[in-house]
Amino acid sequence: MPIAPLMIEHRVIEKMIALIDMAVAVIETAGTVEGGLIDTLVDCIRTYADRCHHGKEEEILFRDLGRKKLAEEHRQIMNELIEDHKWGRVKVSQLLQAKGEFVGGKQEALAKVLSCLKEIAIFYPKHIEKEDKHFFLPCMDYFSETERDRMLEEEMDFDKGFIHKIYKEKTQQVKLALGSQLP
């Protein structure tokens, strides 16, 4: 069943969210935050939760479900999940912007950093619960065993190429950043 890897990924994301909750407590106590901590959290959310996990949902599961005649309830939840993914991307961008302002000397931006972290920590458990309890398992009934096996194979292929895709992109970013300095 192709849903198992996605649900396993949820458990990893839940551990990350617990760490975000801990980070909020530390930041509130200290009254400051290291930019590197926020960069690491952003990288975890963007790379693992969004590009890897949500990437498989959007590029494989939702794509294939879009070809099926779904019950209105499932179509509505799928659309909500897509909007949730968009919300998460915006919130992470806001977190990164607030971190930049704080590191740049705007002490008042710490409140925005904390607000974004708290919103993310509230968002993900609800999002995961919606997927785990109300969407993933019921939606597997729309697929034959052969279709589920094909999706699982595609998810594994997605994972196999994922790290290479990321670092190919990072190499291009560095090359562009150095563009005017290259011989």
The two three-digit tokens of residue 12, written as one number: 């990893």
pLDDT for res 86: 98
Q: If you search the block for the tokens 């926020």, which residue do you land on?
A: 38
The pTM for the full model equals 0.87
pLDDT for res 60: 96
CATH number assigned to the domain with residue range 3-181, chosen from the 4 options 1.20.120.520, 3.40.50.720, 3.40.50.1220, 1.20.1090.10: 1.20.120.520
DSSP single-letter state for residue 179: G
CA nearest to 39, candidates 118, 103, 87: 103
CA 79 to chain centre: 16
pLDDT for res 1: 47
Listed as own residue / partner, the contacts of 51-57 with beta carbons closer than 8 Å and 24 or more positions apart are: 51/162, 51/166, 52/9, 52/158, 52/159, 52/162, 53/6, 53/9, 53/10, 53/13, 54/85, 54/88, 55/158, 55/162, 56/5, 56/6, 56/155, 56/158, 57/6, 57/81, 57/85, 57/131
pLDDT for res 27: 97
Three state DSSP letters for 37-58: HHHHHHHHHHHHHHHHHHHHHH
DSSP single-letter state for residue 71: -
pLDDT for res 182: 57
pLDDT for res 100: 97
DSSP single-letter state for residue 75: H
pLDDT for res 88: 97
Cα 115 from Cα 94, distance rounded (Å): 10
For the chain, the domains span: 3-181
pLDDT for res 180: 60
Count the Cβ atoms, other than its own, within 10 Å of residue 38: 22
pLDDT for res 165: 84
Which regions of the chain are under pLDDT 50? 1
